[in-house]
A and B are shown apart, each in its own frame.
Chain A
Amino acid sequence: MNGKSFLVDLTRCTACRGCQVACKQWKKLPAEKTTNWGSYQNPKDLSAKTIRLVRFNEAEVDGKLSWLFFPEQCRHCVEAPCATVPTNPKAILHDPDTGAVVYTELTAKEDGEAIRMACPYDIPRVDPETKVVNKCDMCIDRVKAGKLPACVQACPTGTMNFGDREDMLKLAEERLAEAKKKFPEAMLVDPEETRVIYLASAPPANYYEYLEADASGAVPGTLSRKQLLAKLGAPIRSMRS
């Protein structure tokens, strides 16, 4: 047993946003007032009320158009940088059974922005009123009761998958091999570091700057992970801290 993981197969996502709304339904998170900003994507960004968001991006490569959809959520990092920020260890919990990284209301007493800044994927958001920091908790209540996370259950196409980490890693490799036939650039995003492993059909930066940790813009195949790590000292576009 090595905890739980998600495989998010972006080659299959149709952006039906079932996951985005199912998340709000289960958690009874309120809707935000939004406006159309020239995109299907709304809300425009994550917030304490929207902890799961399908991002839309149009990318044209060699004259071929892709409309890329990225259901964004907390990655439940294997080693969660955010968990190192709070002074109170009960503010951010790391569930030993599942590996879920769970924020509690005690985050309100912490430096929320610092927690956000620590995230390699820019996920946590501070509730402006309560100061509680919020993000996906893996539907840990459902998972502990033997149910799938709400987003995974809602997904029609097999984009969202959830299970034991070994099984998800295995599925990830299988799906990757399949995807490469159609998308030679397909890759798994940060599979070792996170419990939410994205299978991307195109370079992650084509989806969103924070799909990949600290490495957006890197083209797989041109840099090995080792080389990439070696370069981490250099300024990187997506870095904000």
Chain B
Amino acid sequence: MKVNRRSFLKLTAATAVSSAFCGLGFAPEAQAADRIAMLEPKWSKQTTSICCYCAVGCGLIVNTDLKTKRAINVEGDPDHPINEGATCAKGASIWQLAENDERPKRPLYRAPYSSEWKEVSWEWALGEIAKRVKKTRDASFTEKNAKGQTVNRTNGLASVGSAAIDNEECWTYQAMLRALGLVYVEHQARICHSSTVAALAESFGRGAMTNHWNDIANSDCILVMGSNAAENHPISFKWVTKAMEKGAKLISVDPRFTRTSSKADLYCQIRAGSDIAVLGGLIKYILDNDLIQKDYVISHTNAAFIVGDKFTFKDGLFSGYQKNPLDADYVGAYDKAQWAFEKDADGVPKRDETLKHPRCVYNLLKKHYERYTVDKVVSVSGIDKDGLLEFYKLYSATGKPDKAGTIMYAMGWTQHTVGVQYIRTMAMVQLLLGNIGVAGGGVNALRGESNVQGSTDHCLLWHILPGYLATPNAGLKTYREYVDAKTKPHLAGAKDPKSAAWWQNYPKYMASFLKAMYPEASADEAYTWLPKTEDGKTYTWLQLFEAMSKKEFTGFFAWGMNPACGGANAGKNRKAMTNLDWMVNVNIFDNETGSFWRGPGMDPKKIKTEVFFLPCAVSIEKEGSITNSGRWMQWRYKGPVPRGESKTDGHILTELFDSIKALYVKEGGAFPEPIKNLSVDKWKAHGEFNAHEVAKLINGYFLKDVTIKDKTYKKGSLVPSFAMLQDDGSTCSGNWLYCNSYTDAGNMAARRDATQTPEQAKIGLFSNWSWCWPVNRRIIYNRASCDNTGRPYAPQKPVVAWNGEKWIGDVPDGGWAPGTKYAFIMLPNGHGHIFGPGRQDGPFPEHYEPMETPFNAHEFSGQLNNPTALRFAHEALAVADPKYPYVAMTYRVTEHWQTGLMTRHTPWLLECMPQMFVEMSEELAKEKGIQNGEKVMVESIRGSVWAVAIVTKRMHPLKVMGKTIYQIGMPWCFGWQMPHDGSGGDSANLLTPSVGDPNTGIPETKVFVANVRKM
């Protein structure tokens, strides 16, 4: 019988009941049985790994052919508590990342003025690089600065990278760079979440996501603002969905209706760059309607603290402002001493728990945000008024003690000249509503690279050493001066006996770090070996590329990073690279950075820069740990062997360092001590890099027998926890935060035990799965989830609770009895900072326009932009410029990752998202005569890029301050190098400005102005 579509329904209706199958009596499994058979141990080895893309940290199962040693199947790990077997498009494609013919098999070399790559041997490449490193270092090494201070630094070298390498590789890479004397040490963390670290450390004491992925399921209201979690952290939606199943509301606030918005209960469209106005209005709404969680606010925040009378705020400026000369990198700066708290005779801040004092933080907050009226917020942001009020109502309902609201944010908040203050505003909201330290609450910074939390913790950043210890500056001449300066504010805080002021332990962590770097040296000597920065000078990403533009250094490592596409004002970065004498580019694939000399507009014959491309292993080909956004440190195992002659990053950097060291041993050279004495031999087993050895060094071990409270720890045994670290050189620990991760009980990160106590299971803590910092505490500041008697505010989902003798549940954030120590132990005064006096741009967030904006005035003050922003006065910016009328933004898509370097080389992902596009409203398209799917030109004052127009109902023009504002948005995942035929387009960062936040220098790549025209 022939059946067509027409008769289908008729047919099935008639026969469905009588015959379930028309079974043709043939079992078809034979045709595809090989794929299943290949998964058996007889044919393949099974290993677990963690996805190499975003920082959700999904578990993977890798099957590797026993004969070929190549991967045959990579899929989600059903036992893994975060993803439970799920993978997004990227996670599902990892097999193709590894088994990929585009991967160079051997190192490549580009000679000066050459138009092509040449394959070379590892031995030759590493030897030649070592010679260049030594030559450049010796020529540029500075023992003393102009003031005669000892600085022992190498001015001629700079490094970027990498959040894409394992913890053990990050630590050893920073060790190598610091031994070489580099101060220009930067990586992805600077340009993705540096503002998070600064904002959260100021607000709560630590700079990381407060809760973790599974915990999102405990929330009653999930605000997704400044992120697009469904697209960029897709597996997070497993837990968002679980929360919604239980009745949680999902709110999406975004300039564009996204895949996240498609699932939201409430969507509000706003103008990019107006979030502080919107959140400031939320603070006003909470205060006006008295929706704060009062017991929490008084017990756990500084709302009752009294601010000194020098603090003022007038027309957009706080007291103490000083404008800088035009040639300074920052527009201006504040004297923060004017924002200090009023203190008693012991130096402890005065408090008024009645909240009546006119200068207590609570009343100053009220005063500051009284200007943030609903009408003004609507006018500045363009948001729909009814939607705004619904948003305020839904979210502030989580101020009830037993309710929790959470925020999921990412680059949409961090990458602004007011990025730190965006996040501060939400941190303040969460403190007012009692949402920090609780299950289903927190400020959840969604980290976007698989190990960017780890690379941040290990501080591949100019301003910090592993464990967030400050980089020494020239003015701190000795180890003693340094540790005294760093512990001073915490010792002052400790005058209040209820303040734990944990950072008073700083010397123990610094001494142990120095021992991990230089085992044979005293702390004093090792301190002199660390490179020193200039007092008052910053060396952030944007400044690094400015310095490269000015030929201030000539040797450059781009290790697991693609700044030719990933950095703001990418055109400037590409041009700056022509100034280099040499570049070392370590990556899986060739890319726009390594091949900058053959990029658009480049004439290789005129470019001298030598480039060494070193091919590295992919994640499933090596062993080591990575730390996800929720601070889970997870161990990966080696599946296939590194393809071709590629090597793990750990092997590359160790072998390179050995080559450099050999030259210094043989020939001598500038200040060789740190190179000769670095702990490189402790990174190895059987003569080669070994992740376990490094993981142990990061955890730390006793260097002699040490007795602590009647217990003696033998020399060589692993330190069980950072509480046992010593300041006298008897312990080493590469990173005190990771002390407890690899102990005599074993490799904690490798744990795969999903069992939980009933308390843990209630909120999905998974305390026995992997390990998380600090000391396996899954939700930080968790004692703030209880009142001062240790009783949980939300008894139905407690994180910790005092049972009369001890805390049960999660590892408590300080084990003291309730009421004896404040909850925020990393802050000197123990209370969450609603008033944050430590940031460069003010203690309260204030709305300023982005550095590029269609407006030359706004309704909150006469101060147009952040008065302390980072910018280079010689670079023009478009402000209220009719040539660039549209508000533009950049973002990622699910199918690509970062600059697209890895995902554009993965055919399955390129197939999903093949070309650069620009999204715009139907209204704008109509005005410009642009058809959906047509190629258009997008231009900013810095450059232009073609893009396919996606004309969509998901964006609408907004009415902002009386003007119709059109917004456009582009992904930044494309680049000219791949696809090879150029059909993909180029990076949206050719358009973005080199302007940054004053606290961290994070570039403002999420909002600028542009024009669109037909081609």
Residues of A within 8 A of B (CB): 2-3, 12, 14-18, 20-22, 24-27, 30-40, 42-43, 50, 58, 60, 65-69, 77-81, 83-85, 89-90, 93-97, 99-100, 102, 104-105, 117-120, 137, 140-142, 144-145, 147-148, 150, 153-158, 190, 192-193, 213-215, 225, 228-229, 232, 236, 238-241
Any chain A CB within 8 A of the CB of B9? Answer: yes
The closest CB in chain B to the CB of A19 belongs to: B92
The closest CB in chain B to the CB of A228 belongs to: B9
A22-B92, A154-B75 known; A118+B954 contact, CB < 8 A: no
The closest CB in chain A to the CB of B913 belongs to: A42
Whether A93 contacts B36 by the Cβ 8 Å rule is no
Any chain A CB within 8 A of the CB of B89? Answer: yes
A20-B912, A153-B86 known; A58+B954 contact, CB < 8 A: yes
A35-B915, A193-B16 known; A14+B262 contact, CB < 8 A: yes
Closest Cβ of chain B: how far from A30's Cβ, in Å?
A: 7
Whether A67 contacts B262 by the Cβ 8 Å rule is yes
Closest Cβ of chain B: how far from A103's Cβ, in Å?
A: 9
Instruction: Tally chain B residues at the interface, Cβ within 8 Å.
Output: 87
Closest Cβ of chain B: how far from A192's Cβ, in Å?
A: 5
The closest CB in chain A to the CB of B230 belongs to: A14
Whether B88 contacts A18 by the Cβ 8 Å rule is yes
Closest Cβ of chain A: how far from B8's Cβ, in Å?
A: 4
Whether B2 contacts A93 by the Cβ 8 Å rule is no
Whether B87 contacts A22 by the Cβ 8 Å rule is yes
Which residues of B, 14-53, contact A by the 8 Å Cβ criterion? 15-16, 19-29, 31-33, 35-36
Whether B75 contacts A22 by the Cβ 8 Å rule is yes
Whether A118 contacts B83 by the Cβ 8 Å rule is no
The closest CB in chain A to the CB of B82 belongs to: A156
Any chain A CB within 8 A of the CB of B358? Answer: no
| Of A37, A147, A155, A239, the contact of B5 (CB 8 Å cutoff) | A239
Across the A-B interface, give the 9 residue pairs with the lowest CB-CB distance, nearest first: A38-B933, A31-B907, A96-B23, A81-B3, A38-B932, A16-B234, A156-B86, A21-B92, A31-B911
A14-B234, A69-B262, A94-B21 known; A145+B36 contact, CB < 8 A: yes
Whether A156 contacts B235 by the Cβ 8 Å rule is yes
Cβ–Cβ < 8 Å partners of B950 in chain A? 36, 38-40
Whether B5 contacts A120 by the Cβ 8 Å rule is yes
Cβ–Cβ < 8 Å partners of B908 in chain A? 21, 24-25, 31
- The docked-state distance in angstroms from the alpha carbon of A69 to that of B260 is 12
| Of A21, A100, A192, A225, the contact of B912 (CB 8 Å cutoff) | A21
Any chain A CB within 8 A of the CB of B910? Answer: yes
Whether B26 contacts A90 by the Cβ 8 Å rule is yes
Closest Cβ of chain B: how far from A95's Cβ, in Å?
A: 6
Any chain A CB within 8 A of the CB of B146? Answer: no
- The docked-state distance in angstroms from the alpha carbon of A47 to that of B228 is 30
- The docked-state distance in angstroms from the alpha carbon of A225 to that of B13 is 10
Closest Cβ of chain B: how far from A136's Cβ, in Å?
A: 12
- The docked-state distance in angstroms from the alpha carbon of A141 to that of B235 is 26
A18-B88, A42-B911 known; A141+B33 contact, CB < 8 A: yes
Any chain A CB within 8 A of the CB of B91? Answer: yes
Whether B89 contacts A20 by the Cβ 8 Å rule is yes
A38-B951, A58-B954, A154-B76 known; A81+B11 contact, CB < 8 A: yes
Any chain A CB within 8 A of the CB of B450? Answer: no
- The docked-state distance in angstroms from the alpha carbon of A228 to that of B265 is 33
The closest CB in chain B to the CB of A210 belongs to: B5
- The docked-state distance in angstroms from the alpha carbon of A58 to that of B235 is 23
| Of B75, B234, B893, B910, the contact of A31 (CB 8 Å cutoff) | B910
Chain A CB count within 10 A is highest, among B2, B235, B914, B915, for B914
Whether A37 contacts B933 by the Cβ 8 Å rule is yes
Whether A66 contacts B262 by the Cβ 8 Å rule is yes
The closest CB in chain B to the CB of A154 belongs to: B87
Any chain A CB within 8 A of the CB of B606? Answer: no
Cβ–Cβ < 8 Å partners of B638 in chain A? none
